[in-house]
């Protein structure tokens, strides 16, 4: 029921289905302008739907694990079973992949609504934000693989530091 609220509107699906081609492309990504009117709104709606699903499933998984002995607080320390740790590592990797998807979409959004006056695309957008979003997207995909591998093998600290590095790197690039 909750997921039906995040389904893309029929207008977004119709714009994608029509697939209008303009015969003109943007100079930065070499995408036809129809990409920005048809595909990008649908992909953004799919991103919101996937993020909503991931948050709901993660909350449900954590709540259900909390009801079992897989997650327990004992003698002042937090214990996680191997299966729960691996499951949580997969969920953390999926969150990182969703972040990478967000950075990809942010790169396109910079072209649509730049940081210049009246939302114009500026020199800073071209020279800083587009490469920053691209590097964040690629780095976050690599971090997702590292978190999955470290969580699977029981190296929780490596996964924690990887997630922390991604968050620090993304916040610092946004501030700069």
- pLDDT tens across 31-67, in order? 887 777 777 888 888 899 899 999 999 999 999 998 8
What is the pTM (predicted TM-score) of this model? 0.83
Average pLDDT of the chain? 85
Residue 71 phi/psi, 5-degree rounding, is -120, 120
d(CA 136, CA 170): 7
Buried b (16+ CB within 10 A) or exposed e, 89-126: bebbbbbbbbbbbbbbbbbbbbbeebeeeeeebeeebe
- 104-139, pLDDT tens digit by residue? 999 888 887 877 888 787 888 888 888 889 999 999
> Using an 8 Å Cβ cutoff, are 136 and 169 in contact?
yes
Note the pLDDT of residue 47.
Answer: 94
Note the pLDDT of residue 13.
Answer: 66
Give Dmax over CA atoms of the chain in angstroms: 67
């Amino acid at each position: 029921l909750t997921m039906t609220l995040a389904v893309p509107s029929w207008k977004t699906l119709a714009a994608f289905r029509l697939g209008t081609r303009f015969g003109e492309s943007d100079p930065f990504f070499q995408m036809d302008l129809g990409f920005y009117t048809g595909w990008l709104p649908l992909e953004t709606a799919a991103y919101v739907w996937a993020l909503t699903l991931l948050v709901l499933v993660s909350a449900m998984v954590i709540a259900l694990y909390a009801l079992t002995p897989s997650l327990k607080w004992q003698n002042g320390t937090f214990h996680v079973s191997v299966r729960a740790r691996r499951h949580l590592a997969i969920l953390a990797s999926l969150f990182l992949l969703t972040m990478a998807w967000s950075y990809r979409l942010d790169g396109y959004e910079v072209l649509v609504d730049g940081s210049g006056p009246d939302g114009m695309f500026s020199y800073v957008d071209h020279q800083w934000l587009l490469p920053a979003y691209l590097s964040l997207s690629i780095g976050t995909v690599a971090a997702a693989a590292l978190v999955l591998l470290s969580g699977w093998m029981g190296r929780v600290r490596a996964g924690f530091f990887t997630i922390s590095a991604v968050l620090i790197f993304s916040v610092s690039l946004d501030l700069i």
